[in-house]
Amino acid sequence: MTSQPSTPRSRRERPAKSALTHAGIVSTAVRLMESEGLQRVTMRRLAQELDTGPASLYVYVANTAELHAAILEALLGAVDLAPVGARGDWRERLLRVLGSYVEVLFAHPGLARSALVARPSGPHYLALVEGILGLLHEGGVPDAQAAWGVDVLLQVATATAAEQSTRAQSPTADDEHDALTAVLREAPAGVYPRIAALGDDLVSGTPEQRFAWIFRAVINGTKTTPRETS
């Protein structure tokens, strides 16, 4: 935030206006997201940050979705693929990798939702896929099942993070969740016997407890479900 003595006449308190590049745009976008949230990372707002007009960005980025995917790819560098305390079996370590992924998404509201739509395809994403495949292999999961299972695991992790972060983000979303909870609790037993029978169990547990069970269930299903139908 201090002015640069080497460029005395810069009009703004910004690093000298660097040439526009894909990398420069993405790193500015990440900074902007960190400070103002993904919802402010628009082509117009980002262009303003880079001291140019929105049209200039289209030379490097095809559209807003691609921009958001590039941000996610950059953030994925923070996923811990080999947790230090990882002395448990493969299942335990896989749980931690997925947990680390969810944490990264959860730390940036909005990112998970965009990740459900536009998946990245950079080296960090590949490393995450490779890490998961390695653990499934170590666990003796047949290749064909691991190949499809990695997708499900990432999908569930992403969707779970999206749901949680949407709720954490907006008080309206929280109200909606409370409404759903109330509706489930009050469902008449005559029309909805199973909902009534399960009662609070449908909405029980902390997010962490639900995460842990969900991941274990999907990992188990992946390991035990053959690809060919019997």
Partner DNA sequence: ACCTGAACACCGTTCAAGT
> How far, CA to CA in Å, does 26 sit from each of 52, 66, 74, 115, 158?
15, 10, 8, 16, 22
Contact 15, 31 (CB under 8 A): no
State yes or no: residue 84 binds DNA (CB under 7 A).
no
Amino acid at 104: V
Footprint (CB under 8 A) of a copy of itself, residues 153-192: 155-156, 158-160, 162-163, 166, 172-173, 176, 179-180, 183-184, 187, 191-192
From 148, 174, 185, 208, residue interacting with a copy of itself (rule: CB under 8 A)? 148
Name the nearest CA neighbour of 37 among 90, 108, 103, 119.
108
In the complex, the smallest distance separating the C-beta of residue 8 from a copy of itself, rounded to whole angstroms, is: 44
Binding mask 96-115 for a copy of itself (x = CB under 8 A): -----------------x--
Phi, psi torsion values for 62, nearest 5 degrees: -70, -35
- Give the tokens for residue 50: 């880079």
Please tell me the distance from the alpha carbon of residue 98 to that of residue 153, in angstroms, as a whole number: 8
In the complex, the smallest distance separating the C-beta of residue 146 from a copy of itself, rounded to whole angstroms, is: 7
Residue 127 near which of DNA, a copy of itself, none (CB within 5-8 Å, type-dependent): a copy of itself
From 10, 144, 185, 208, residue interacting with a copy of itself (rule: CB under 8 A)? 144
Name the nearest CA neighbour of 38 among 112, 97, 94.
112
Please tell me the distance from the alpha carbon of residue 192 to that of residue 122, in angstroms, as a whole number: 46
**For residues 117 and 126, which CB has a smaller minimum distance to DNA in the complex?**
117
Only segment of 16-24, 33-41, 51-59, 132-140 that touches a copy of itself (CB under 8 A): 132-140
Query: CB burial class (10 A; 0-12, 13-18, 19+) of residue 215?
Result: buried
State yes or no: residue 204 binds a copy of itself (CB under 8 A).
yes
Contact 114, 69 (CB under 8 A): yes
- Give the tokens for residue 190: 């005559």
State yes or no: residue 27 binds DNA (CB under 7 A).
no
- Contact residues toward DNA (CB under 7 A) are 19-20, 40, 42-45, 52-56, 58-60, 63-64
- Chain residues in the site for a copy of itself (CB under 8 A): 62-63, 65-66, 69, 113, 116-119, 121, 126-127, 129-130, 133-134, 137, 143-152, 155-156, 158-160, 162-163, 166, 172-173, 176, 179-180, 183-184, 187, 191-195, 197-198, 201-202, 204-205, 210, 212-214, 216-222, 224-225, 227, 229
